[in-house]
Amino acid sequence: MTQPPWRRERREQFPGVPAWSLATSRLTPEEFGVSRLEQVTREWAWGDDGTGPADGAGVRVCVLDTGVDASHPLVGGLERSLVVADDGGDLTVVDCDPADPVGHGTACAGLIRSIAPAVSLTSVRVLTDGRSGSGAALLAGLRWAVEEGFDLVNLSLSTTRSQFLPELHELADRAYFRRCLLVAAAHNMPVLSFPWTFSSVISVASHDEPDPMTYYYNPAPPAEFYARGVRVRVAWRGGRQIRSTGNSFAAPHITGICALALSRHRWMTPFQLKSVLYLAASNVVVSKGDAHVRA
C-alpha cells in the first residue's frame, strides 16, 4: 500500500498560486475511488464484494472510557490497554492491565466488536467510576490517540466544563484532518457539553429499535445520527451481560459501522465517510443522483 497522503511530506508551494492551493496544471490531483451518489448503498459500503462482507479488518479503534476488560467473551482481546496516570503533576499515558472496574468501557468495546468482529481495539482509561473523570485526563488521552493515528476514536463521554472547550475543539479538528474520526455520544441530559457538539466529529443519539444495523440521519443536528441505544444487551464487568440504555451505547454502534465501511474503502477521508454514512442511513433514499430524507 502506498503511503497515505496525510502522512506524506507537505507539498511545496507552487510559485504563482496562493499557499495551500493546488497547481493542477503542474500536478496530477490525488485519485480517490469516489462513486456516484446512487451507487453508494449499504451493499457498496460494507456488503459482500465477492470475498465476503466487511468485518472491520485493518481498522484501528481507540475506546476512551473506563478501561476495557479484554477477557470478556464479547470483547475478544485488545491491541493495547492504557491509562492516563498522574506522574507527579504531569499526565502521561502508560500501559496497564486490560481491566475495567466499572463496565462502561467494556460495554462500548463489546458493541463495536459485535458489529466489526475483526477490528483492532485499544483501550485508554480516562474515567474513574463511569460517571466522572478530569477534563485534563480526557485531553491527555485524546491527544495520545490522535497522535497514535487511530482510524476511529469512540467517545461515549463528554464534559460540560467550558474551560476545556478550546483545546478539545482544536484536538477534534486536528483529528479530522489527520483521518482520525471521533465518534461521540450526545449527552443523556438536555445540557450543552463537548465534544459531541463539534461539527468535526460524528455525533450520535439513541433510537429505541432493536436492530443494531438500523441507524438514522438527523437533518437537525447537533446530533447527526441516531443508533440503537435503548435496552441494549451489553458486556459488563465480571464477564456478565446486562441491558442498559443511553447514548453511550448508540455511539459504538456507529463506530462499528464506520469500521466496516473503512475496512472496505480504506481511502475514505472523514468527510467522505460522513457522506457515506448519510447515504446509507435507514431514512435516506437515493434515486437518480438525488438524496432524500424519509420522514
Residue 233's pLDDT band, with cuts at 50, 70 and 90, is very high
Residues in the chain: 295
Across 257-261, average pLDDT: 98
- Residue-wise pLDDT for 33-56, tens only, equals 656 777 889 999 999 989 999 999
174 vs 9, more confident: 174
Whole-structure pTM value: 0.91
Q: In the predicted model, is pLDDT for residue 4 greater than 70? A: no
Q: In the predicted model, is pLDDT for residue 183 greater than 70? A: yes
Q: Which amino acid is at 222?
A: P
Sign of CA dihedral 255, 201, 273, 178: negative
Q: In the predicted model, is pLDDT for residue 286 greater than 70? A: yes
- Residue-wise pLDDT for 48-100, tens only, equals 989 999 999 999 999 999 999 999 999 999 999 999 998 888 899 999 999 99
Q: In the predicted model, is pLDDT for residue 232 greater than 90? A: yes
Across 129-154, average pLDDT: 90
Q: Which amino acid is at 56?
A: G
| Contact present, 14 and 23 (Cβ < 8 Å) | yes
* Residue 248 burial (CB count, 10 A): 28
250 vs 285, more confident: 250
Q: In the prediction, which pLDDT does 38 show?
A: 78
Listed range (14-23, 149-158, 200-209, 259-268) with the worst mean pLDDT:
14-23
Residue 267's pLDDT band, with cuts at 50, 70 and 90, is confident
Q: In the prediction, which pLDDT does 9 show?
A: 65
Q: What is the overall mean pLDDT for the chain?
A: 90
Q: In the predicted model, is pLDDT for residue 131 greater than 80? A: no
